[in-house]
Amino acid sequence: MRDDVEIIEKTTPFRGYFHLDCYRLRHRRHDGGWTEPMSREVFERGHAAGLLLYDPNRDQVGLIEQFRPGAFAAGWHPWLVEIVAGIIDDGESAEDVAVREAKEEAGVEIDLVVPVCRYLVSPGGSTETMQLYCGRVDAAKLSGIHGLAHEGEDIRVFAVDAREAIGWIDSGRVANSMTMIALQWLALHHAQLRNDWQRAD
């Protein structure tokens, strides 16, 4: 693949908690030739892990609601319904992050985890990837306000019937990709997952 992309120049005009790289490059065309040089900005946000909380006994999922400045800036309702998620720091595994975030953002422990998928969040302008998991939880413990005070988090956690949550994709109540993908995965694997996790008790 690297032989099919030529980086002419790479600069980093902004570096903070995240950073922005500017590439001047060209790449192979489908007909075997080369494109003209082009300039592209790439947002280096890091990589993240998310966890859908699922209780097979009550057949409920755990979701969170929190303020998102990006949604606010885009003119959307800024309190989004989401799954728990967090940035993967150096030396951490994606699964460890997902389990940790369940504790920090929802106040619950996870005893079983299965991988869902890994995908590029916005490959037209960012390197960020998301690794999704589903974790078994006791939905009776899903309530209250959570989050880390020093990060300014104000996160409400709640439980909802799995079928109702899946229906929120069509109704528009869920409007972010990680939560939609996790709930669509649950819709496909719902019966088998519930059966397997109830037997695992």
Amino acid at 53: L
Residue pair 102/108 in contact by the 8 Å Cβ criterion:
yes
Amino acid at 13: P
Active-site residues: which are they? 151
**Rounded (5°) CA angle 103-163-87:** 30
Structure tokens that stand for 80 in this block: 């989004």
